[in-house]
Amino acid sequence: MIAELTDFGAWFMQISQFHYLPLTPIFFSFLIGIFFILLIVVELRLLRYAYLSLGLSPRGALMLLLATLVGSFFNIPVAQLPPERMVSNRVVDFFGMQYAVPLVDLSQPVIAVNIGGAVIPTLMSIYLLARLNLWGKGLLATAIVALIIHWLANPVPGLGIAVPVFEPAIITAIVALVLSRRDAAPLAYIAGGLGTLIGADITNLDKVRGLGAPIASIGGAGTFDGIFLTGIMAVLLASLVSRPRMAASS
């Protein structure tokens, strides 16, 4: 029995290493503050048409953003890289943001997938593509954004791949508006999430080795803040001049 408890404790400690805030607490609190400001504004129904443009009810959109925030803490390990000297338990500054490098006890770097920054945006994007039949425009917008974000992405020692925080939101809003004013809001969400994941993380996986990042999280530290703000800023920017769609529910 004691041996079983010891094995469970070791397993739990191993798994817990993959779950951590992608930003330092003060910067993550900044994102939470934006969420609560948005919550107040939505309850006042000042942004109702912005979320109708996305094809969601206002509260449905808030639940999506809340799930994205909570999910950012969780990473699913998917692959291991060859052993290298790794950075651990420090803060990395990049374009005014502070990213947390977790305290880990790993012999090899791990590639992981972040729930809030990769899984949820991908599933939501696929839902929007299918529900609104935006496959052509959506894939084109994603490809354009991915190319631009790939050019902007930077390998950062100890962290992995990072992009400037506001560029994804601004770029996706412009691309979405150029392709379709009516569907600008859902296109912005789709291209912002998938385009950032593909352009920043997936197409740069070959650059992760040698950076000393213990956990290279797809959609996590380095890109999560940009993806989260894209879910807010790009949709709002695009929907200001697009014709709202009816939400699936009130």
Main-chain phi, psi angles of 153, to 5 degrees: -65, 145
* Encoded tokens for 217: 């999280």
Neighbours of 119 (CB within 10 A): 18
pLDDT digits (tens, 9 = 90+) for 25-60: 666 777 777 777 766 665 545 455 556 666 677 677
Kindly list the distances between the CA atom of residue 228 and the CA atoms of 78, 165, 200, in Å, as whole numbers in the listed order.
Answer: 22, 10, 14
For every residue of 99-159, DSSP letters joined together read EEEP----SS-EEEEEIIIIIHHHHHHHHHHHHTT-HHHHHHHHHHHHHHHHHH-EEETTT
User: Average pLDDT of the chain?
Assistant: 75
Give the C-alpha separation, 95 to 31, whole Å: 16
pTM above 0.85, yes or no: no
Predicted local confidence at residue 2, as pLDDT: 43
- Listed in sequence order, the residues at least 6 apart from 100 whose beta carbon sits closer than 8 Å to its beta carbon are 20, 21, 22, 23, 24, 91, 221
Q: What is the pLDDT of residue 123?
A: 94
DSSP annotation string for 65-89: HHHHHHHTT-EEEEEEPPP-----S
> Which residues, in sequence order, are CB contacts of 220 under 8 Å at separation 6+?
22, 72, 75, 112, 114, 117, 118, 160
Per-residue pLDDT tens over the stretch 123-172? 999 999 998 899 999 999 999 999 999 999 888 877 778 888 778 888 89
Domain spans of the chain, in order of start: 18-239
The whole-angstrom separation of Cα 184 and Cα 45 is 20
Please count the other Cβ atoms lying within 10 Å of the Cβ belonging to residue 189: 29
For range 78-89, the mean pLDDT: 67
The number of helix segments (H) and strand segments (E) in the chain equals 10, 7
Distance of CA 83 to the CA centre of its chain: 27
Cα–Cα dist 238/250, whole Å:
21
Alpha-carbon torsion, ordered 163, 168, 174, 179, to 10 deg:
110
Top-confidence residue, 117 or 87: 117
Predicted confidence (pLDDT) per residue in 182-196, tens digit: 888 889 889 989 999
Does residue 95 surpass a pLDDT of 70?
no
With vertex at residue 67, the alpha carbon angle to CA 61 and CA 71, rounded to the nearest 5 degrees, is: 150
Reported confidence tier of residue 6, pLDDT bands at 50, 70, 90: very low
